[in-house]
Chains A and B, each alone.
Chain A
Amino acid sequence: MLLEDAPRVLAPRRRELAFDAAVTGVVFLADGTLAAGLGDGTVRLVTDDPAPQIAQPHRDGSAVLALAIDFDGAGVLTGGDDGRLARTAGDGMVTPLAEFPGRQVEVVAVSIAGGQSAVAAGREVSLLDQSGKIVAATADHPTTVTGLALNPKGKRLAVSHYGGVTLWWTGKLGEAPAQLRWRGSHIGVSWSPDGSIVMTTMQERELHGWRLLDGQHMRMAGYAAKVRSMDWLTRPMTLVTSGAECALAWKFSGGGPMGTAPIELGRGLGRLVTCVAVHPKRPLVAAGFDDGQVALCALKPADAVVRVRGIDGARITSLAWSRDGTRLAAGTAAGVVPIYDLVKTAASGPEAEGV
């Protein structure tokens, strides 16, 4: 980490867009274009042009439920409640990839390292190659698949469901899975950036984790709500989550996180953190709240918290950093997409308001 001590704030917002459907996901493409998935089945592509481009990968009247940047950084994969999986390129061109009639496609994962993506529909998981063709599929899961995560090398796929996680080798999907078991309903899964740990979020408002080397279990309980958002800082390896009145950061270094308390980020600002996003290069966390607030928090206890978006009542549903870390975008349940710049400033106090 460079320049750890130089304060960063998000400058006055660069832009705020408003759409007439809920924002369900935002992500920056490699060239800086922002892709936003909406509750009307469209993807809006925001560049410096005044009017965003509209792509319609999903049926009119349906909703985009999953949005992930594709392996090449030049487009997004979306899943919708019309049962479709599609790719939308940065120029707005839509390529349908698969259709699962009668299903809501809400789980999509992409491995940039592996050049592969995975999609779930019901109990079935399909792997797609770089051309977007389904190359393997298996329905060998005990219940509906709730989450997918590829390991950092893109060689293994973690599939969450009731009762735990099934681990597949992507080269041998459907053969010889490993099982990580823990009773209860697992509703999402994430792989640590060093590949050593698989974490799930649970219906029971807690996290569960497995250290793959020795099968050691981890359990983080006491959340106020289901954890809907997890993200990782690579060094020191730290898991940041939503689900409490502040963002919670669990440090995995020095024997942690078991037996240690999480670092609380942004406490006192709002009722519930719904979304978190770790800066791609610095130990900074963006946190979105259920009342519309967005805060930028330094991952050090007692460091400054900068509130960049005030309360407007609409839940933050998504947050994304640009690849170079210079911009942050949020999406709200009311269809608003604010975009901020991150700049260096020496003058910011802890209560500086960017808006």
Chain B
Amino acid sequence: MTSTDKIPVTVLTGYLGAGKTTLLNRVLSGQHGRKYAVIVNEFGEIGIDNELVVNADEEVFEMNNGCICCTVRGDLIRIIGNLLKRKGRFDGILIETTGLADPAPVAQTFFVDDDVRDKAKLDSIVTVVDAKNLAARLQDSHEAAEQIAFADTILLNKVDLVPAADLHAVEARIRAINPTATIHRTERCTIPVDSILDRRAFDLDRILAVEPNFLGEDTHEHDDAVTSVAFQEGRPIDINKFNDWMGGLLRTRGQDILRSKGILNIKGSPDRFIFQAVHMLAEGDDGKRWGRDEPRVSKLVFIGRNLDGADLRTGFASCVAD
């Protein structure tokens, strides 16, 4: 099965009351002409009288593979396997998580389980954020920042309830955590379904648009805040050096590094090399060919806690090809 045959899976996260249910009901109404299966959490607000809706228990399991942060959603492995036995194809699967869920186990399930990897592909993580209450949420919970950190797409909802000046501040707050996500401003989650589903957002091309930033010594944070750091490198990268460095880095620091993503200009390759990781689980693949006149620049983004910008920059620089 090639990756284009795999069923795209969208993960929908966000705090209770942020507006996920409105969005789910729109997806289920089917007026967009596509058929999605929806996996809701057991405390979900959605009525379950729909054959496309499955209840899940959000059972997070530790894998017995020696990787301490390698947790997966056991219930998803079963449910997705079962959905694929049905006659007729779904256009996609949408997984709702509870407001308090850490998105990592959901994402990691798509890296770790062979059966799931064979048939399904994580298309994107969509996080619904309540524009009015975001600041308070970031204050009182770990999960709010994690949900933003993991997002490929962010719906900044309830923008009608917030003055324009405050909205800019909220967006800046989001950008500080996650510089690569697409942000949509919405009211009552009103957005065309196809602008959040089946986006192949994981092809990560947006990374190239990210301006490099650098956490200097003064901004090196030791508190629990989730921050991001982005690097740019004009010289070609040696893939072996990169794999060695990144492998070691994620093994030792993978608990704090929530996500890392990169588009790399590899010495000797005409194609972009696309790299992404969730905590310690990484995958790399060839991406689009570089254009003839396109500047071949490598970009690498880390999102996490306790990021040591200087150390990461030195590490990345050591991957430059001789």
Q: Do chains A and B stick together as partners?
A: yes
Q: Do residues B61 and A162 form an inter-chain contact, with CB atoms below 8 A? A: yes
Q: Do residues B87 and A122 form an inter-chain contact, with CB atoms below 8 A? A: no
Which of chain A's residues has its CB closest to B75's CB?
Answer: A144
Which of chain B's residues has its CB closest to A335's CB?
Answer: B87
A155 in contact (CB, < 8 A):
no
Give the chain B neighbours of A62 by CB distance below 8 A: 51, 86
Q: Do residues B78 and A106 form an inter-chain contact, with CB atoms below 8 A? A: yes
Q: Do residues B55 and A39 form an inter-chain contact, with CB atoms below 8 A? A: no
Chain B 29-55 interface residues, beta-carbon cutoff 8 Å to A? 48, 51, 53-55
Q: Do residues A226 and B115 form an inter-chain contact, with CB atoms below 8 A? A: yes
Chain A 57-113 interface residues, beta-carbon cutoff 8 Å to B? 59, 61-63, 65, 81-82, 101-104, 106
A204 in contact (CB, < 8 A):
yes
CA distance A146 to B61 in the complex (A): 14
Q: Do residues A204 and B82 form an inter-chain contact, with CB atoms below 8 A? A: no
Q: Given A62-B51, A104-B78, do A203 and B85 touch, yes or no (CB 8 Å)?
A: no
- Total contacts A to B, CB within 8 angstroms? 78
Q: Do residues B57 and A144 form an inter-chain contact, with CB atoms below 8 A? A: yes
Interface 1/0 per residue, A35-65 and B, CB below 8 Å? 0001110000000000000000001011101
Chain B: residues with Cβ within 8 Å of the partner, total of 25
CA distance A39 to B78 in the complex (A): 15
CA distance A102 to B49 in the complex (A): 8
Interface 1/0 per residue, B102-116 and A, CB below 8 Å? 000000000001110
CA distance A185 to B75 in the complex (A): 11
Which stretch in A16-24, A126-134, A173-181, A277-285 binds the other chain?
Answer: A16-24
Q: Do residues B61 and A203 form an inter-chain contact, with CB atoms below 8 A? A: yes
B74 in contact (CB, < 8 A):
yes
Most chain B CB inside 10 Å of its own CB: which residue of A39, A61, A101, A102: A102
Give the chain A neighbours of B195 by CB distance below 8 A: none
Q: Given A59-B51, A61-B51, A104-B78, do A81 and B86 touch, yes or no (CB 8 Å)?
A: yes
Chain B 94-134 interface residues, beta-carbon cutoff 8 Å to A? 113-115
Q: Do residues A122 and B59 form an inter-chain contact, with CB atoms below 8 A? A: no
Chain A 137-189 interface residues, beta-carbon cutoff 8 Å to B? 143-144, 146, 162, 183-185, 187
A38 CB, nearest partner CB in chain B, Å: 7
Give the chain A neighbours of B87 by CB distance below 8 A: 20-22, 38-40, 61, 63
Which of chain A's residues has its CB closest to B113's CB?
Answer: A203
Of the A-B pairs whose beta carbons lie under 8 Å apart in the complex, a sample of 8, sorted by A's number, is A61-B87, A63-B87, A102-B48, A103-B55, A144-B59, A185-B63, A203-B113, A226-B115
> Residues of A with Cβ closer than 8 Å to B?
20-22, 24, 38-40, 59, 61-63, 65, 81-82, 101-104, 106, 122-123, 143-144, 146, 162, 183-185, 187, 202-204, 225-226
